[in-house]
Amino acid sequence: MLGAALTLTLDRVARGVMPAQLLLSQVALRSVDSLPLLLPLALFLGILLAYGRLHRDSEMAVIAASGMTGRHLLRPVLALALPLAGLLAVVSVWGGPAAMRLSDRMIDAANRSLLVVGMEAGRFVEVPGRNAMVYVGAMSPDGTRFSRMFVFEERDGRVDITTAAEGALYQDRNATERYLEMTRGFRVEGTPGEPAWRLMRFERNELRLPSPASPDRRQAERRRGFLDLLASDSALDRAEVHWRIGLPISALVLALMAVPLARSPPREPRYGKVLVAILAYVLYTNLMTIGRGWIADGTLPPALGLWWLHAAALGIAWWLAGADRRALRPTRA
């Protein structure tokens, strides 16, 4: 997930729709949004590998012979899982949406600045997405206004040179396009080696810049505050509520399920159960995603939510724990 966030952000930087200064901050904020999906898997695999090691080294047989039951084995698991589930609830309910809102605000602010294309006063800078070089003599601290600009652009063998005394960056009414507004300048265009050149003097001219990076507005409910979601009657908002609540619950259920799944013969490969665990996690999270979609489109009533899935997963964990307790119970000679 970190690699995917880094790749997406680097692509936006390379196309000039996001300044390079936002690279690390955007990747970090996207990583916060990914934590609710990664922490349950990390907890699940950690408990599975730790208890699996006890089984392979025959330590679990000694523990069972000393009178400890599966109930005793759950205590350290709950001591780890409960605080982690609390942290996961904070990230899922508040941290992740807050990080996405901050990311959107940073992108919106960058789109209103010349710094988004890497322009700096006193330097020649290539405009991403266009075969053009730009030079500005001075720039305002917020990057919205400039003075003494020089633009060199080449298209289809023709050269276009523009100079301007001053100007500013602005967006159109829909905030979908950005333009450099240049005032009091000259424009020279023509083909090198040919005598036909055109010289123009203008009071106002515009240069279109690459389209700005637009935050993903398709899932606005993912950015809304939890209290606003609770007060809403929208099916999408109700689905988001159950999704945010369900992530820490899934971490607890997976932690309980990991203890019986870790039981293995002494000579079984170390990572023999890891594939089973990953498949169980993928199945659980995919069913949560499907259930979220069913709530959003009205197939499932919001009152039912994802509780049916958590109850079924908890029932499977309880059944596995019962089978594990019977296996650990010492037999009489």
pLDDT in tens, 122-131: 888 776 556 7
Burial class (CB in 10 A: 0-12, 13-18, 19+), 24: exposed
Residue with the larger pLDDT of the pair 329 and 197: 197
If we measure between CA atoms, which residue out of 116, 114, 110, 160 comes closest to residue 136?
114
Residue with the larger pLDDT of the pair 130 and 330: 130
Confidence at residue 333, expressed as pLDDT on a 0 to 100 scale: 47
Mean pLDDT to the nearest integer, 43-48 = 90
pTM of the model: 0.68
Confidence at residue 260, expressed as pLDDT on a 0 to 100 scale: 83
Residue with the larger pLDDT of the pair 247 and 67: 247
Widest CA span in the chain: 109
Mean pLDDT to the nearest integer, 232-258 = 91
Residue 300 per-residue DSSP state: S
- pLDDT tens digits for range 272-285: 678 888 898 999 99
DSSP β-ladder status, 124-126 and 132-139: antiparallel
Alpha-carbon gap, residue 315 to 320, rounded angstroms: 9
Residue 67 scores a pLDDT above 90: no
Confidence at residue 174, expressed as pLDDT on a 0 to 100 scale: 64
Ranking 42-51, 111-120, 199-208 by mean pLDDT, the lowest is: 111-120
